[in-house]
Structure 1
């Protein structure tokens, strides 16, 4: 499932809270969006994307995620890997860290994660 940048912003607000009303999402966003815009985006995420579930609580609807941030990021990275790097995890990873300043701490953590993967396979 590929989400738009706006959809990701809204999902981040819901993921962070666990559940959220339209107003709570509006309040959590870094940029001002109209209440009606947020409400429309939440409905799209519920009905079209099936990423949220809506439950009526009192007079308000409360939204809760049906997919995790990890599921969405995994799918997106798999698409990037396949579309830009011919399915190569190595090429994707080298591209991710190639142009960045990588700290010694980051390198240690990456080595530890790779060692863990080696032990699991």
Structure 2
């Protein structure tokens, strides 16, 4: 699955993200199958509209299987996640990833286990960068 050329400019609403998540975790599906995987009860036509909108955004495609369409994602969850995080960092933290981490630390968003995990990630990343610079 590709990241898509215009991925940085794509914004997903909550329902669109629910539908994409249903496709990423459950695999391709018909409108009815996707509808059954969603956390919120939505009408069939609502799910169909969301899938068509996602298709217009080039995030989803479909194939005809008999008399129904089976929808599948054409972008990876990682690509969407990266795009969403980049937008969040740009819009709320002035483009500074350091400000994001500082915010998490200042607002007690991380417990001791979270801090240990973050510390391990930071040490690993620092070691990679230092190795690269040698």
| Aligned residue number for residue 15 of structure 2 | 6
What TM-score comes out, normalization by structure 1 length? Answer: 0.91
User: Any stretches of 5+ residues in structure 1 without a counterpart?
Assistant: none
Assess if the C-alpha contact under 8 Å between 2:27 and 2:72 holds in 1: yes
Point out where structure 2 has 5 or more consecutive residues left out of the alignment.
1-9, 130-134
- Residues 1:76 and 2:84 are matched in the alignment: yes
Inter-CA distance 93–72: structure 2 relative to 1 (3 Å threshold)? same
2:4 matched to which residue of 1? none
Structure 2 partner of 1:86: 94
Q: 1:108 aligns with which of 105, 109, 116?
A: 116
Distance 1:4 1:21 in 2: 21
Give 1:30's aligned residue.
39
Among residues 46, 51, 74, which one is paired with 1:42 in the alignment? Answer: 51
Distance in structure 2 (CA, Å) of the matches to 1:100 and 1:21: 42
Which of 47, 56, 63 is residue 55 of structure 1 equivalent to? 63
Mapped partners of 2:18, 2:105: distance in 1: 25
TM-score (norm 2): 0.83
- Distance in 2 (alpha carbons) for counterparts of 1:97 and 1:74: 21
